[in-house]
Amino acid sequence: MIGAGHVAALAPAADIALAYDHKDASYVTTSKNPEVLDYIVCLEKAVSNTPKSMSLPASLDDAERKCSSQAKTLPKAASEPNADEIRSMVVECGFRVGDASPDMGCEPPPKQAQEQAASGVPKQAKTHPQPAPAGQYQLSEKQQSAVQAGVRLSLKDPTSPLFGGMAAARGDGGFIYVCGMVNAKNSFGGYTGDQPYFGMLIGDAPRAAFAVVGFGGTLTESRAILSVCKEHGVF
């Protein structure tokens, strides 16, 4: 088990990239064009800085204004996506694996699709939730609920949290490591903004319980949490 002290000790580790990057953007498009990927990264950064109360389309409206200079550099080629096509994909499926609601018909990232083809596993029908990427674990709805319940117990105001993305990986000892984002109220009643968390899901549904190991707060703490998430193969 990883203790909170171990999490904090990882803070200085290797200047880890906190931001959404080109690899993440490959979920939105199969394009390898850097201008396309830069535009998607810009959109995600802008959307992540908008209030959680805003709908995704409204957040994208704001993001598109902030990323207008990148939009102008998008290639004018039929083989490359334009700004409207990128927006449509984001509205339907989000920026990352796990953002899309079940039955949205969102395809897995290209690398995963290639691995499925190579292994002879047929692509999932569009009426089913997409499978988790290689190396990750797909949480059921009941497991996601158990994670949220565990996170709530660690918050000052358990009635307030706004949950963001969530991802998981199964460890050698049978534990399921889970990382996610949560925006909750502080002691003054104000929202703190998205903060990463890391913990372990123990037991099977409906008796699964989630133990929070640590939350990101300061930049250093967030670096530590994200470092642990990568160390355990969550993303």
pLDDT tens per residue across span 131-175: 444 357 888 888 899 999 999 998 888 888 899 889 998 876 667
Q: Assess contact for 13 and 58: CB atoms under 8 A.
A: no
111: left (phi over 0), alpha (psi -120 to 50) or beta: alpha
pTM over 0.85: no
* pLDDT value for 63: 93
User: What's the rounded mean pLDDT across residues 61-87?
Assistant: 92
Is the link from the previous residue into 206 a cis peptide, with omega within 30 of 0?
Answer: yes
Q: Tokens for 36, please give them.
A: 């396309």
Cα dihedral 169, 175, 180, 185, rounded to 10, equals 180
Query: Quick one: CA dihedral 175, 105, 61, 31, positive or negative?
Result: positive
Give residues with Cβ within 8 angstroms of 229, minimum separation 6: 167, 177, 179, 196, 198, 235
232 and 177 in contact (C-beta within 8 Å)? yes
Residue 81 has a CB neighbour count (10 Å cut-off) of: 21
